[in-house]
């Protein structure tokens, strides 16, 4: 069995190193820059309006959909605020050096406009199921949008199927195995728990929740996400305040290493600019999923008649996830010197938190905060990604396939917990590219639709004309 896994892992690594990684690198950033300029930095200029929408200013209970703006945001955030914020950041620094953090920032900033674009399209082209629930996401706007605009039904159908299959695979990897692996690893590192027992318990808890569908998921995540984010952020802030004198130097090495790829003394593997950039973009994409096409599946269910509104709500995700939470983790890891320790993954973050809190008399508390922060982050990601996978399964095989998907999903939760860290993350990197590439192609082809929807909405907002339900 180990030999088979090793052979599969080698093939996945070859794809990641020579095809997938560079395809993402040279497609994600240019696409983000294209929309940044074409939409006039909307992610910055309309930030206040986006926050007002999330706060419920424009909520209307009579609008069609499954959840309000806030719950759609927390559901999508629960899928992105996960191991990427604790394990992914540490891995990016381990593999790409401190400069990788700069490229995570670039991915996060451009990710705001990409999230806006893909979620606007997803809401516009969503469909309603026989039970009244909503289905949406790239597979729908790929098929409907490209057929409508270009009359390329065969191309659109094939591209949509590729994306839907990739979404199911990614739900097993990005939103499932990477999360359960991080949880089991943290429990083993901190408490010595056997990963097999951890895997069984995590799997059972996941299945209890996900069979309730999006509304139950949204109810759980709308309570869990704010709590877990605040707890982790406060603990990290305590360490950053205590090590504040290191922050100027930390920013200095992040910016200098972003373009030089200077090697670290400890565990740093890559030593070139391209490796630094590659790992920053990879882990940034894993963290916020902007351009990957996952979040649009959740945002399609929002109760609003205006697709642009939900796009604006979605644009806040990379801001919270990557530009705030990931940055705090990165600064803590570098400030405390943990990045030079040779540790990787959750062990590096635990070391940073432990050493930081030990200086203020809270020795040993850090490992518990990181472990339980990771548990909450990762668990909410697993249950949110199960929804993404069910929508893709529904698209490909119909509504009856969902119940079978749940059980397969549970199996992968367990496998992720017991498999090694390396093979899980190699699989994650592969399936992310399989989703992202067709989605970015669709965004570029449907850029005109995004611009028209945007201009129509803000023209109407300027006139104060929201009496009718359609723009």
C-alpha distances (whole Å) from 196 to each of 175, 311, 335, 386, 425 are 19, 40, 35, 21, 19
Q: Note the pLDDT tens digit of each residue in 40-52.
A: 999 999 999 999 9
Q: Please, are residues 344 and 90 in contact by the beta-carbon 8 Å criterion?
A: yes
**pTM summary value:** 0.86
Task: Record the tokens describing residue 136, joined without a space.
Answer: 């949406």
Residue 466 lies in a domain: no
pLDDT at 268: 46
Helical H segments across 243-272, by residue range? 247-260
What's the domain count of the chain? 1
Residue 103 lies in a domain: yes
Helical H segments across 211-246, by residue range? 213-242
- CA atoms of 314 and 116, how far apart (whole Å): 6
Q: Please, are residues 55 and 360 in contact by the beta-carbon 8 Å criterion?
A: no
Work out the average pLDDT over 206-214. Answer: 75
CA 426 to the chain's CA centroid: 16
Residue 3 lies in a domain: no
Q: Is the pLDDT of residue 176 over 50?
A: yes
Residue 55 lies in a domain: yes
Q: Is the pLDDT of residue 399 over 50?
A: yes
Work out the average pLDDT over 346-373. Answer: 86
Rounded to the nearest 10°, the torsion over CA 109, 114, 116, 119 is -140
Work out the average pLDDT over 349-375. Answer: 85
Q: Please, are residues 225 and 81 in contact by the beta-carbon 8 Å criterion?
A: yes
Closest CA to 453 of 164, 145, 234: 145
CATH of the domain at 172: 1.10.4160
Residue 330 lies in a domain: yes
Residue 24 lies in a domain: yes
Q: Please, are residues 348 and 333 in contact by the beta-carbon 8 Å criterion?
A: yes
Mean pLDDT of the chain: 86
Residue 1 lies in a domain: no
pLDDT at 265: 41
Range of the domain at 123: 9-457
Q: Note the pLDDT tens digit of each residue in 319-340.
A: 988 899 899 999 999 999 999 8
Residue 107 lies in a domain: yes
C-alpha distances (whole Å) from 378 to each of 85, 178, 252, 408 are 10, 8, 31, 19
Q: Please, are residues 167 and 330 in contact by the beta-carbon 8 Å criterion?
A: no
- CA atoms of 116 and 138, how far apart (whole Å): 13
pLDDT at 466: 61
């Amino acid at each position: 069995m180990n030999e088979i896994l090793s052979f599969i892992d080698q093939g996945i690594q070859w794809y990641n190193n020579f095809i997938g990684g560079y395809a993402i690198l040279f497609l994600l950033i240019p696409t983000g820059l294209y929309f940044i300029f074409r939409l006039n930095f909307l992610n910055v200029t309309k930030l206040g309006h986006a926050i007002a929408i999330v706060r419920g200013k424009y909520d209307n209970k009579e609008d069609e959909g499954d959840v309000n703006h806030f719950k759609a945001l927390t559901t999508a955030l629960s899928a992105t605020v996960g191991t990427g914020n604790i394990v992914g950041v540490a891995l990016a620094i381990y593999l790409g050096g401190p400069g990788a953090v700069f490229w995570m920032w670039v991915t996060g900033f451009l990710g705001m406009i990409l999230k806006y674009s893909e979620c606007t399209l997803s809401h516009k082209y969503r469909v309603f199921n026989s039970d009244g629930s909503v289905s949406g996401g790239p597979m729908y706007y790929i098929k409907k949008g490209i057929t409508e605009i270009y009359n390329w039904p065969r191309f659109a159908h094939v591209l949509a199927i590729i994306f839907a299959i990739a979404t199911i695979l990614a739900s097993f990897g990005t939103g499932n195995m990477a999360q359960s692996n991080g949880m089991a690893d943290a429990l083993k590192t901190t408490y010595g728990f056997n990963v097999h027992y951890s895997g069984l318990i995590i799997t059972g808890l996941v299945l209890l929740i996900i069979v309730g569908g999006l509304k139950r998921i949204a109810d759980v995540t709308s309570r869990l996400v704010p709590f877990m984010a605040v707890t982790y952020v406060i603990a990290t802030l305590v360490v950053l305040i205590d090590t504040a004198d290191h922050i100027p130097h930390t920013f200095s090495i992040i910016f200098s290493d972003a373009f030089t790829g200077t090697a670290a003394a400890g565990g740093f593997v890559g030593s070139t600019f391209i490796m630094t950039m590659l790992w920053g973009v990879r882990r940034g994409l894993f963290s916020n999923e902007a351009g990957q096409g996952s979040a649009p599946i959740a945002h399609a269910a929002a109760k609003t008649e205006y697709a642009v509104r939900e796009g604006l709500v979605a644009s806040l995700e990379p801001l919270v996830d990557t530009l705030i939470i990931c940055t705090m983790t990165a600064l803590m890891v570098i400030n405390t010197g943990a990045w030079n320790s040779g540790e990787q993954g959750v062990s590096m973050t635990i070391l940073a938190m432990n050493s930081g809190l030990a200086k203020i008399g809270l020795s040993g508390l850090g490992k518990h905060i990181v472990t339980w922060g990771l548990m909450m982050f990762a668990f909410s990601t697993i249950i949110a990604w199960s929804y993404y996978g069910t929508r893709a399964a529904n698209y490909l095989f119909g509504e009856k396939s969902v119940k079978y998907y749940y059980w397969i999903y549970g199996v992968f939760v367990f496998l992720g917990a017991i498999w090694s860290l390396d093979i899980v993350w190699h699989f994650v990197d592969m399936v992310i590219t399989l989703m992202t590439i067709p989605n970015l192609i669709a965004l570029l082809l449907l850029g005109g639709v995004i611009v028209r929807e945007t201009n129509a909405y803000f023209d109407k907002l300027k006139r104060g004309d929201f009496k009718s339900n359609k723009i």
